Amino acid sequence: MKPMPKSLYLAAGAYTVSLGTGRPEFNPRKPRPGLEHYIQEAGQASLAQISDPNLIDEGVIGNFMAARFNKQGHLGSLMTIAHPALEGKPMIRVEGACASGGLALATGIKSVLSGLAESVLVMGVEVQNTVKAIYGADILAGAGWYAGERKQGGTYFFPEKFSQRAGAFGAKFGEEKTRGAMAAWYATAVENARLNPLAQEHHNAVKDLMAQGLTPPDGRSFCEHLNLFHCSKVSDGGAAIIVCSKEGYKRLGLKRDDVVKIVGYGHAAANLTVPPPDLTELTTSRKASGLARKMAGISKDDYGVIEVHDCFSITGMLSLEALELVAPGESVELVIAGENKRNGRFPTNTGGGLVGYGHPTGATGVRMAVDLWKQLTGRAGDYQIPLKKEHGIMISMGGNDKTVVSLVVRK
Chain residues binding a second copy by CB under 8 A are 5, 34-36, 59, 64-65, 67-68, 70-81, 86-97, 103, 106-107, 109-111, 113-116, 138-139, 141-147, 150, 267-273, 284, 287, 398-399, 402-403
List C-alpha distances in Å: 170 to 165, 175, 226: 8, 4, 11
Backbone angles phi, psi at 386, to 5 degrees: -75, 120
Beta bridge partners of 267: 405
Is there a contact between 184 and 215 (Cβ–Cβ < 8 Å)? no
Closest CB 6 distance from a second copy, rounded Å: 8
Which of these, 236, 214, 185, lies nearest to 352 by C-alpha position?
185
**Which of 252, 268 has the CB closer to a second copy?**
268
The 10 Å Cβ neighbour count of residue 261 is 21
Closest separation between CB of residue 8 and a second copy, Å?
10
Nearer residue to a second copy within complex by CB, 237 or 352: 237
Identify whether the C-beta of residue 189 lies closer than 8 Å to the C-beta of residue 355.
Answer: yes
How many residues make up the chain in this entry? Answer: 411
Nearer to a second copy, 153 or 352 (CB): 153
CB closer to a second copy, 27 vs 271 = 271
Nearest approach, Cβ of residue 334 and a second copy (Å): 27
The smaller minimum CB distance to a second copy, of residues 100 and 375, is found at 100
Neighbour order of strands in the sheet with 236-245: 58-62, 119-127, 236-245, 8-15, 260-269, 403-410, 391-398, 303-307
For a second copy, the closer of residues 230 and 402 by Cβ is: 402
Minimal distance in Å, beta carbon 373 to a second copy?
22
Q: Which of 93, 130, 136 is nearest to 232 (CA)?
A: 136
Instruction: With H, G, I as helix, E, B as strand and everything else as coil, classify residue 18.
Output: coil
Q: Which amino acid is at 302?
A: D
Considering the complex, state which of residue 221 and residue 271 has its C-beta at the smaller distance from a second copy.
Answer: 271
Rounded Cα gap, residues 38 and 19, in angstroms? 10
Shortest distance (Å) from residue 199 CB to a second copy: 26
Q: Cβ closer to a second copy: 114 or 343?
A: 114
Q: How far is the CB of 73 from a second copy (least distance, A)?
A: 4
State the pairing for strand pair 260-269/403-410. Answer: antiparallel
Residue 71 backbone phi and psi in degrees, to 5? 60, 20
CB of 337 to a second copy, least distance (A): 33
Sign of CA dihedral 68, 39, 203, 387: positive
For residue 257, count CB atoms less than 10 angstroms from its CB and return exposed for 0-12, middle for 13-18, buried for 19 or more: exposed
Residue ranges of alpha helices (H) inside 310-351 are: 313-322, 331-336
- Under DSSP, the state recorded for 312 is B
395 phi/psi in degrees, rounded to 5 = -120, 115
> With respect to a second copy, which residue has the nearer C-beta, 105 or 305?
105
Q: Closest separation between CB of residue 115 and a second copy, Å?
A: 5
Strands (DSSP E) found in 252-299? 260-269
Minimum distance from CB of 330 to a second copy (Å)? 25
- Least distance CB 224 / a second copy (angstroms): 25
Task: Select 94 or 376, whichever has its Cβ closest to a second copy.
Answer: 94
